[in-house]
Amino acid sequence: MTFPDRGYPSIADYCDDYLAGLARAGASIDRAALARAAQMLDAAFARGAWLFVCGNGGSAAIANHLLCDVAKGMQTDTGVLPRVMSLSTTMEMVTAIANDIAFEDCFLYQLRTAARPGDLLMTISSSGDSENIVRALRWAAENGLESIALTGFDGGRSAPLATVNLHVGGDNYGVIEDTHQSIMHMLAQFLRQAKMPAPLIAERKF
């Protein structure tokens, strides 16, 4: 069902339906795929690999937020030293590549420069069909990188290209992006608590 599919005179009613959409979106997450993504992240950090993450628009903000919550948050009270780079935060590189080459290559070009076989790529795209995301996933598959794609709507071209697709059922950008943000938090917090001394978990704020 499309949301919204009608006008709402009351923000309270809109809130109720939006939150109901969030609940459905959360329920749609494939738990086995989520577990596989957590294993991939854990293994990548254990071997000292880099995690490269990217997205456009609101998804770029989630990518940058992931950098903070994973690189800083996960090493608090743990022995984990995550190596994370957001390809969306390098505005000088993004705009130079977009201006001089093509916006569609703004993530691929950075991967080609910095990534090595064994590293990990995470893409965030509600449509799953952004060309710069698709090109990054293709490059990763061809150059020895596993990948995790966060998608919504019908998954787009990203879904079959990724090693693991974390798909969110929904057709509202806000609901999908909110759920992608929640997935990011779940991964970061789950991996953090898994490495913490058990008595500290209840004492810390997550």
Which three-class secondary structure string do you get for 20-73?
HHHHHHHHCCCHHHHHHHHHHHHHHHHCCCEEEEEECCHHHHHHHHHHHHHHHH
- DSSP readout, 134-200? HHHHHHHHHTT-EEEEEE-TT-TTHHHHSSEEEE---S-HHHHHHHHHHHHHHHHHHHHHHHS-HHH
pLDDT at 63 (0 to 100): 97
Residue 197 to residue 76: CA distance in whole angstroms: 11
Question: Hey, what CATH class is 30-196 in?
Answer: alpha beta
pLDDT in tens, 114-141: 999 999 999 999 999 999 999 999 999 9
pLDDT in tens, 8-46: 999 999 999 999 999 999 999 999 999 999 999 999 999
pLDDT at 122 (0 to 100): 98
pLDDT at 1 over 90: no
Q: Calculate ∠ Cα 18-22-26, nearest 5°.
A: 170
Other residues' Cβ atoms within 10 Å of the Cβ of residue 94:
20
pLDDT at 36 (0 to 100): 98
Residues in contact with 145: Cβ distance below 8 Å, sequence separation at least 6, in sequence order: 52, 111, 115, 117, 118, 119, 120, 121, 139
